[in-house]
Structure 1
């Protein structure tokens, strides 16, 4: 696995994020290949030292690990005509296609593949992503280690034991950047209503969100404890937190995450045919 050639079938934003993260972490560009129909994208990757092709047959033949980075709705139509190539090469398959099960991918390709499903999120584009990983029974320890290195290069990654747990990962991190964006959006509106100009409000909100995340990460303390530390009795922060509790913030968040998980399950079922 330390000398494996890794290919990307599809060169969209997530594939680009993973590739850029791997290059920044010291992966050899000559070990990386990409296949995409878009010529400017191919030229961009080629300028970084990668082999770039428009021929998926050539990509599969050359690679030990294949990252499936096409849109989930197009994955079946993309893979089935390539099944013979995959069967001949038998690469480790790494999928970033949300909602498509390992069983579906295996079936479309004719069976008996080592498959890792992943659920990265959009902060991967700025190398601060969070990725859930699931491996089927055919994946070796060495292959798991290589895949983890790939996704650790764009942030943090962790393994789940059951594929169904990826639905919870979707609700907890995959879709969750949008939760924080929405909360920041609400704060922006409220700050401007209180008289701050838009640029000043944005600067304060972004820096505060960044600082709060770093405090949780670097102190090792639970968010609840850090919250208690800044809530002076009858102070301004405590008053704000009481307002959240009056509006039952925990229930609002729980309902949203459950809705996200339920939709993830629905999409998985829709894409399983």
Structure 2
């Protein structure tokens, strides 16, 4: 039996949820964006949010939708969330968030939900709050709505390379294409085009009042090694800081030394560690 209350939260507790999310503006950014967009009414959202703690003192959160994301979850909160979640079918495609909580959840859930397709236990979380010293590539710009067909093949290539499966598998790519269109129309997708093709791309996949989280960074294979990545990322960071949010954040696989070097050159500093479990 649970000794500390774990319950699904509703709109009446939105203020407490937002205060808790403000305590971890980078680790909880993905959840914060969803709460801002849809509130806590389950019928308006694409997931549910659970709280750990008494009604007077909310201590931790866990988002359960397309992704499972714990926020500020202590080991006791992780155990309580896992006990509740085990009563439901998996449904989510990944567990992602602060490494200690994600790996703790996976320790509880793995024997029931496993095997995972991939576990990425060391993903440095990085944050930049000032324009990079690196000169920005003037060729990197926002993608226009009439350029969806130009961007989409690069987005599919990035997703397949990074995640390990094609986004075209489940529904022929219709859902993924809608997501790419949303990012473009929201002025959150960047690219450099050369010779009629996208040779660099990145998106502001998550935006809150605290941060713009960059995902989907990709350089075309035949353009790699030319030294373009730092100046291209510098362009993204400068525009995002000027136009979107007071910080830019991202998380990167720990073994990707080349990318980590690029981000360091662009002024990103460590802000903890993420982990991801992929199904």
Q: How does the TM-score come out when normalised to structure 2?
A: 0.32
Give the number of the structure with larger relative contact order, counting CA–CA contacts within 8 Å between residues 6 or more apart. 2
Query: By percentage of residues, which structure has more helix?
Result: 1
Larger radius of gyration: 1
Query: By percentage of residues, which structure has more strand?
Result: 2
Q: How does the TM-score come out when normalised to structure 1?
A: 0.32
